[in-house]
């Protein structure tokens, strides 16, 4: 018994695609430096409001790096920039009890 089949003509292999311009993958991209702070973290450290931080960003007073839609800040660079712009650096807020002080030291003592 013979079946009638339509055979496709032989297909030659496709030419090798030209390589795309090398684009860094997200796995290769460097993550933000561990010393970088988020906006809420910087606001807490400096003791300023979100509005003040946004104003400083908008006016270019403090340096920041965009990571996606968020901003990251290097505390040393921010403090240096505030001094350079004649802005007195706000007093850093104290660490919550049990964090940041020597072992066994509380804010109550």
Give the tens place of pLDDT for each residue, 11-61: 666 666 555 665 555 555 565 555 789 999 999 999 999 999 999 999 999
Using the 8-state DSSP alphabet, how is residue 82 labeled? Answer: H
Query: Is the distance from CB of 89 to CB of 83 less than 8 angstroms?
Result: yes
Query: Phi then psi for 63, rounded to 5 degrees?
Result: -80, 145
Q: Give burial (CB, 10 Å; 0-12/13-18/19+) of 66.
A: exposed
Report pTM.
Answer: 0.51
Q: How far apart are the first and last CA of the chain?
A: 99
């Amino acid at each position: 018994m013979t079946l009638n089949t339509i055979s496709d003509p032989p297909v030659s292999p496709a030419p090798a695609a030209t390589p795309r311009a090398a684009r860094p993958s997200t796995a290769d991209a460097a993550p933000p430096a561990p010393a970088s702070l988020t906006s809420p973290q910087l606001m807490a450290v400096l003791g300023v409001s979100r509005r003040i931080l946004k104003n400083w960003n908008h006016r270019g007073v403090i340096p920041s790096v965009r990571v996606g839609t968020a901003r990251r800040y290097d505390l040393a660079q921010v403090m240096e920039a505030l001094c350079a712009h004649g802005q007195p650096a706000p007093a850093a807020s104290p660490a919550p009890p049990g964090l940041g002080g020597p072992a066994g030291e509380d804010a109550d003592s």
